[in-house]
Structure 1
Amino acid sequence: MSPTFKALNHPNYRLWLAGSVVSNVGTWMQRVAQDWLVLTVLTDNSGVAVGITTGLQFAPMLLFAPFAGSVVDRFSRRRILIGTQVGMGLLAALLGVLVVTDMAQLWMVYALAFGLGTVAALDGPARQTFVSELVPREDLPNAVGLNSASFNGGRLIGPAVAGLLIHWLGGTGPVFLINAVSFAAVVIQLSRMDLDRLLLSPNASRKRGSVRDGLAYVRHRSDILLLLGIVGMIGTFTMNFQVTTALMARLVFDKGSGQYGLLGSVMAIGSLSGALLAARRSKPSIHLVAGAAVALGVSALVASVMPTYWSFAVLLVPVGLSALTVMTAANATVQLSVAPELRGRVMALYMAIFMGGTPIGAPIIGWIGETFGARWTIGFGGLTSLLTAAVALTLLRSGRVPDPQQVVDDVDPAAAAVPSGEVPVDLEPALTTDAQVSPRVSSSPR
């Protein structure tokens, strides 16, 4: 099989990816419909309201991530995912019913966005770490890349379909109901998996202090801290594309829902290309993350000054490609370089910093759009990405932060469970210096 798709050799991963494709299309349909509902039906083109809605949806990730990561490390990730899919499906159905019956109000959308985010706070780290139970370590970067391809395949199809459905059906309600049904695809595929083939990591201890253990581990890993800083800044101020493209389509180019949805699909062309390239890359690194951040900053700045709708749309292709490269490379690097029994807590922190910054960044970006003009929303994000990359490259060149690439190369496939509150022998150097760590990775089922 082609190196781009080698993770598909594993039956459980094939099931997972098939279900995810369907669900991701529905998720992107809901994102577009939710923003359009707030922007054009419940408010008078309020960028701040769109920003608040987006922020509320991601706020729980920041609030609950450490505890969610502890739960993910202690319990079956497959069962957690079944529960979260059902929960998110019910919330989407409720919003759809409210809109279809003309009962929806702005505060209701805010409340349901927060509810969806609360469930997603648990779903995110479970979803991220579950991949390591579906494929062996050597195929993990490929699986992460294909996951991103699935996500952005949904991003390619979902916004365009949502825009057309909103136009044809005269409202956003049916879009939410369709998304509610799409979650069933993941539940069905999870139920069909061969449990004997799952490559389960050691369960974390149920003793008190498990959240503290995860934070202590990350605090003494300067390489992971730098990656978290990069994705935090870019996730907070650059990747608010739900807000920026809505404002650009509506306020700069005076376009409707169909053209707004098309912008998301155009960006997804670049993102999907980046994901497929990432699937072929077996050794991600911080240098790659920083370089992609430079490309993201430059392409976003150029896009912000494009004079026409179509020239802006074309520039969204490199924006999507570089943004996806940043996130995929950072995700794979972190997952490959952490101890398996801490992976849930570390990835929960990763998701909290990446997505949890949205409650801060989205309202700010919305305010920038209303105060200085919609073009500044994407331009400010580009400047932030360039500044973040400059700081990261400076730290790497100074030698103060090691690139975890060597850590990935030196990982021992033997597993070692770490009881809560105890420091494993392999991690002692990291807790005394910023030396590189060689965590152990489990590759055998329990």
Structure 2
Amino acid sequence: MTISSAFRDPVLRSPAFMKLAANGGTNGISVGADYVLVGWLALQVAESTTWVGGGFALYHVPGLLLGMPAGSLADRVNRHRLVRGLELVGVLILITFAMLLAAGHWNIAVVYGLTVALGSLRAIHHPTRLAYTYDIAGPKRVIPAISALNFSSHLGYIVGAAASGLIAERFGVHHALLAMALAHLIAWSCLSGASPPVAAVHDPSPILDNLRDYTREITRNRLLAALVIVTAGIEVFGTSLYTTLPELAQLRLEVGADGLGGLVAISQAGGLIAASILFVMPAHTDAKPLWLISIACLGLAVVALGAAPNMVTCAIALGAAAAAISAWDILTQSMMQLSVPDRLRGRAMGAWMFAIGSAPLGHLQMGFVVAWLGLDLALYLNGFMVLVVIAAGVLIVKELRLR
């Protein structure tokens, strides 16, 4: 698929997909704000990176607990309607917590309550929308379709990270939460009138039967099982780098919430670049080599962040990490859905959500290791462990090796 053919593709230019991409961008504004406000609120209330790690851990716990049931739910119901309904749930959550903070309830219980609520929303929303993306695009276009959705989401992340930090610094956190609620309301409206594809396959079996069916699949499908295990390992040692950002911004770079938001926003440009490249890759491209390269690059980028002395080098290292994470996410999501029958695609994305639900362990260990060894050594150690995880996976599981 060339650049011109990608943009001319009738499926990727269809009203249903264009509305989905718009939903990804506006929903991404709220998600981008998560990565600024979750850590910043915990640091301001508790004044410790350990509490920041706890906050990010709680943010991802729902993925571990709800990922598989959410995937089963996505296989049973109309995915288009479920995505829209979840946007309205987000509006209610954010308005509620904005009112609590505005009323002066500024404590770790409220901060962690907001964190769990947002994490639960994302745990159900993400696998459902990814399965709906495949519904629209089909197997031949799944990588460019998820890449385009990832691109629009990263645009939202940039806007959300920068705007939330700025609004929180200038007007207060409760105003930032209200802006996030508005983003969810716009995301809901983006999907109005977008009819779900008639080709979508739904499994009306009870959720427990669905889960048993998927358990049988994952025990016999070695590639899917390996992708789940490696994803969990990368979440523990790779994406946990975000736990360090509030302390990195405050102590190394000496900036506030607006500076942290700007740093996260600038770094997300790497994710845009990675998504753009995958969007125009030839349709017959083997995803596995790119998947392996993206993980190796993530490990090296985490190490580089540990050595970065100033705003520019930190932004470059974070940009490289964001690019690697974006490519790894796109390729993992695509490979998982392609490895299972259509009736299991929602559950495949639930398994992905379950795997990234291991992130609490990563954020907790990163918080403790930073407190024990310091920021630099913690990043060096975690980057090295990313390389160890993928090397072990390739050595142990032949399905992950290049042919």
TM-score bracket relative to the smaller structure: over 0.9
More moved, 83-92 vs 115-124 = 115-124
- Superposed CA deviations along residues 205-256 of structure 1, whole A, max 9, x for unmatched, are 3385220110210121111222222221111221024312222111222222
More moved, 197-206 vs 216-225 = 197-206
The answer to whether the 8 Å contact 1:72/1:345 transfers is yes
- Equivalent residue, structure 2, for 1:226: 226
Identity rate, percent: 21
- Equivalent residue, structure 1, for 2:46: 43
The answer to whether the 8 Å contact 2:73/2:207 transfers is no
Match of 1:29 among 27, 33, 37: 33
What amino acid is the match of 2:46? T
Q: Which residues in structure 2 correspond to 1:111-130 (within 5 Å)?
A: 111-130=113-132
More moved, 303-312 vs 340-349 = 303-312
Q: Distance in 2 between matches of 1:207 and 1:377?
A: 41
Match of 1:332 among 319, 331, 334: 334
- Equivalent residue, structure 1, for 2:178: 177
Match status 1:167 vs 2:192: no
The answer to whether the 8 Å contact 2:80/2:195 transfers is no
Match status 1:379 vs 2:380: yes
What SS is found at the alignment partner of 1:209? Answer: helix
- Superposed CA deviations along residues 82-116 of structure 1, whole A, max 9, x for unmatched, are 22211122111112112222223211221232223
- Equivalent residue, structure 2, for 1:412: none
Report the CA distance between 1:349 and its aligned residue. 1.0
For residues 168 and 284 of structure 1, do their structure 2 counterparts lie closer, same or farther at Cα, with a shift above 3 Å needed? farther
- Equivalent residue, structure 2, for 1:57: 59
What amino acid is the match of 1:359? P
Q: Distance in 2 between matches of 1:30 and 1:60?
A: 15
Q: Which residues in structure 2 correspond to 1:145-294 (within 5 Å)?
A: 145-169=147-171, 171-195=172-196, 197-206=197-206, 208-281=208-281, 282=283, 283-294=285-296
What amino acid is the match of 1:401? E
Q: What is the TM-score of this pair, normalised by structure 2? A: 0.92
- Superposed CA deviations along residues 278-324 of structure 1, whole A, max 9, x for unmatched, are 11233342332122111111122122112223222222222221222
Q: Distance in 2 between matches of 1:305 and 1:226?
A: 32
The answer to whether the 8 Å contact 2:337/2:345 transfers is yes
What SS is found at the alignment partner of 1:9? Answer: coil
- Superposed CA deviations along residues 30-77 of structure 1, whole A, max 9, x for unmatched, are 43123212212x122x11111111111211111122222221111111
The answer to whether the 8 Å contact 1:16/1:186 transfers is no
For residues 116 and 317 of structure 1, do their structure 2 counterparts lie closer, same or farther at Cα, with a shift above 3 Å needed? closer
Any gaps of 5 or more consecutive residues in structure 2?
none
- Superposed CA deviations along residues 361-406 of structure 1, whole A, max 9, x for unmatched, are 111111111221122343233112111221233246xxx3266x99
Any gaps of 5 or more consecutive residues in structure 1?
407-446
Q: Distance in 2 between matches of 1:319 and 1:66?
A: 27
Q: Distance in 1 between matches of 2:19 and 2:388?
A: 41
Match status 1:346 vs 2:348: yes
What amino acid is the match of 1:50? V
Q: Distance in 2 between matches of 1:65 and 1:315?
A: 30
More helix by share: 2
Q: Distance in 1 between matches of 2:151 and 2:324?
A: 14
Report the CA distance between 1:4 and its aligned residue. 4.3
The answer to whether the 8 Å contact 1:38/1:49 transfers is yes
Match of 2:399 among 393, 398, 401: 401
The answer to whether the 8 Å contact 2:232/2:359 transfers is no
What amino acid is the match of 1:232? A
Match status 1:13 vs 2:14: no
Report the CA distance between 1:146 and its aligned residue. 0.8
Match of 2:133 among 124, 131, 134: 131
The answer to whether the 8 Å contact 1:286/1:330 transfers is no
What amino acid is the match of 1:273? I
Q: Distance in 2 between matches of 1:15 and 1:140?
A: 17
Larger radius of gyration: 1
Report the CA distance between 1:155 and its aligned residue. 2.1
Report the CA distance between 1:119 and its aligned residue. 3.0
Q: Distance in 2 between matches of 1:65 and 1:158?
A: 24
What amino acid is the match of 1:385? V
- Equivalent residue, structure 2, for 1:315: 317
Q: Distance in 1 between matches of 2:98 and 2:360?
A: 24
More moved, 283-292 vs 46-55 = 283-292
Aligned Cα RMSD in Å?
2.1
Match of 1:103 among 93, 102, 105: 105
Q: Distance in 2 between matches of 1:376 and 1:87?
A: 40
Report the CA distance between 1:190 and its aligned residue. 2.3
Q: Distance in 1 between matches of 2:207 and 2:184?
A: 34
More moved, 269-278 vs 366-375 = 366-375
| Aligned length, in residue pairs | 397
For residues 204 and 340 of structure 1, do their structure 2 counterparts lie closer, same or farther at Cα, with a shift above 3 Å needed? farther
